[in-house]
Amino acid sequence: MNHNTGQATTVCDIELSEFLIMAEEFHGHISPGVVTGGFLVDAAQRELGHSLYLNAVTETVVCLPDAVQLLTPCTMGNGFLQVLDWGKFAVTLYDRESLRGARAWVDLEAVAANPVVSSWFIRKPGDQKVDKDPVVQELLTYGPRLVKCRAVDMKESLKSQGKVLTAACPSCGESYPLRFGDQCLACQGRAYYL
Amino acid sequence: MNHNTGQATTVCDIELSEFLIMAEEFHGHISPGVVTGGFLVDAAQRELGHSLYLNAVTETVVCLPDAVQLLTPCTMGNGFLQVLDWGKFAVTLYDRESLRGARAWVDLEAVAANPVVSSWFIRKPGDQKVDKDPVVQELLTYGPRLVKCRAVDMKESLKSQGKVLTAACPSCGESYPLRFGDQCLACQGRAYYL
């Protein structure tokens, strides 16, 4: 289950110090979420072992997708990373051929026993804004002990393989998938812009 | 509208040759989508000008999010990139304070006049698999002429600012947002894993 009992020096065979630099450059800052994400991805990768056809699913849009994009070949745009907006800080790495995978998540009981990390992770009504730097420091020491991981099997590969038939939207003239109906979603009233 | 009439040598002030190396490293290969995405982001960035509070929206999950993540500080995990699964190859860059933005999209009429690019971009039933390399070469020469762009105003910032109240799911014990109900979405039957 939890492979990490001591203080980590690497995530996915990358020196932790190097990962923090990569995170700052890509993510914009070293957040508790991207650090926790690094340990989650590391745990899932160790459990799964080598995979030629690696895919990833994150169960939150926050921070964790960037840890996956930094530490694996799976990105949002190449389709090997799927992002679910479930608000759960958990990630699954899986092989899309064998459908064998490993899911890593935050151990809420372990977090609850750590006042510094729980001040960030467990949000209650009326909580004040948390200073992130001490949380990051605490995570760098104790993060791997706050992670659980286990092998899972996928019901199916989440990367869509089918061809998408497109046409010009009769209203705006832009290309859109015909499965959405007679017009593109923007022309159906969902445009976010004026 | 379309700022590019000659052959581009840069995207967002990065040498095109360097962008292709970045794309290969991050995205995994130099795809027509990520190259087109580079020209779209470049056009939107030129139209918008400098922004201290840059956010981005892509209207497809395919390729384009990686161009944004390579060329701007906006990533999936830091929340400054929103990805809509609308199947439209279009991107908006905007300033989340002023809500001024610029939206760039693929000019379908211009694409239709280019047989190589249209063999990739315009998909019809029964189409064979397209060799991507000649499409990339064609895009490197003609890509900027296939892009349209215009200033837009955002209805609202798409980055959520609110606090998310969480609790332990009574079924699996993991942290989840209370707005989803009495259990997390996985325990409500939506788990993708066994």
Query: B125 and B174, same structural domain?
Result: no
Which of the pair, A6 or A137, is modelled with greater confidence?
A: A137
Mind listing the pLDDT tens digit for each residue in A68-126?
999 999 999 999 999 999 999 999 999 999 999 999 999 999 999 999 999 999 877 77
Flag if B86 and A174 touch (Cβ within 8 Å): no
Would you say the pTM of this structure is higher than 0.80? yes
Query: B144 and B60, same structural domain?
Result: yes
Characterize the bridge pairing of strands A54-58 and A81-83: parallel
In the 8-state DSSP scheme, what is residue B55? E
Nearest Cα residue to A172 out of A189, A156, A150: A189
A108 touches chain B (CB under 8 A): yes
Amino acid A127: pLDDT? 77
Query: A176 and A147, same structural domain?
Result: no
In the 8-state DSSP scheme, what is residue A190? I
Produce one character per residue of A123-148: b if its CB has 16 or more CB atoms within 10 Å, e if not.
beeeeeeeebeebbebbbebbbbbbb
Amino acid B2: pLDDT? 42
Amino acid B127: pLDDT? 77
Q: What is the mean pLDDT of residues B174-193?
A: 95
Query: A135 and A46, same structural domain?
Result: yes
Considering the domain boundaries, does residue A118 fall inside one? yes
In the 8-state DSSP scheme, what is residue B188? I
Quick check: B1 pLDDT over 50? no
Query: What SS3 state is found at A186?
Result: helix
Flag if A185 and B92 touch (Cβ within 8 Å): no
Query: A33 and A65, same structural domain?
Result: yes
ipTM associated with this complex: 0.92
B105 touches chain A (CB under 8 A): yes
Query: A135 and A172, same structural domain?
Result: no
Considering the domain boundaries, does residue A74 fall inside one? yes
Instruction: Tell me the C-alpha distance between A13 and B119, whole Å.
Output: 41
A73 touches chain B (CB under 8 A): yes
Report the CATH number at residue B135. Answer: 3.30.1330.130
Backbone angles phi, psi at A46, to 5 degrees: -65, -40
Considering the domain boundaries, does residue B48 fall inside one? yes
Backbone angles phi, psi at A61, to 5 degrees: -85, -10
Instruction: Tell me the C-alpha distance between B133 and B139, whole Å.
Output: 10
Range of the domain at A174: 163-194
Query: A94 and A52, same structural domain?
Result: yes
Q: For A126, how many CA atoms within 13 A lie in the half-sphere containing its CB? A: 0
Query: What SS3 state is found at B69?
Result: helix
Contacts of B84 in chain A (CB under 8 A): 185, 192
Nearest Cα residue to B134 out of B113, B148, B147, B119: B119
Query: B168 and B146, same structural domain?
Result: no
Quick check: B5 pLDDT over 60? no
Considering the domain boundaries, does residue B1 fall inside one? no
Query: A174 and A141, same structural domain?
Result: no
Burial class (CB in 10 A: 0-12, 13-18, 19+), B144: buried
Q: Domain tally for chain A?
A: 2
Instruction: Tell me the C-alpha distance between B144 and B119, whole Å.
Output: 18
* Residue A11, number of CB atoms within 10 A of its CB: 25
Report the CATH number at residue A171. Answer: 3.30.60.80
Torsion, Cα A155 A162 B89 B68, to 10 degrees, reads 40
Nearest Cα residue to B55 out of A3, A193, A145: A193
Contacts of A134 (CB under 8 A, 6+ apart): A116
Which of the pair, B129 or B172, is modelled with greater confidence?
A: B172
pLDDT confidence band for B6 (50 / 70 / 90): low
A178 touches chain B (CB under 8 A): no
Query: A90 and A177, same structural domain?
Result: no
Considering the domain boundaries, does residue B5 fall inside one? no
B52 touches chain A (CB under 8 A): no
Flag if A77 and B90 touch (Cβ within 8 Å): no
Mind listing the pLDDT tens digit for each residue in A135-176?
999 999 999 999 999 999 999 888 766 778 899 999 999 999
Percent above pLDDT 90 for chain B: 85
Contacts of A87 (CB under 8 A, 6+ apart): A59, A60, B164, B166, B176, B177, B179, B180, B184
Quick check: A2 pLDDT over 50? no
In the 8-state DSSP scheme, what is residue A76? T
Considering the domain boundaries, does residue B158 fall inside one? no
pLDDT confidence band for B93 (50 / 70 / 90): very high
Query: A178 and A128, same structural domain?
Result: no
Which residue among A84, A153, A174 places its CB closest to the CB of B108? Answer: A174
Amino acid A3: pLDDT? 47
Q: Which residue in B has a C-alpha nearest to residue A125's C-alpha?
A: B165
The alpha-helical segments, DSSP class H, found in B72-187 are: 108-112, 115-121, 132-142
Considering the domain boundaries, does residue A102 fall inside one? yes
* Residue A115, number of CB atoms within 10 A of its CB: 9
Burial class (CB in 10 A: 0-12, 13-18, 19+), A48: buried
Considering the domain boundaries, does residue B178 fall inside one? yes
Query: B148 and B175, same structural domain?
Result: no
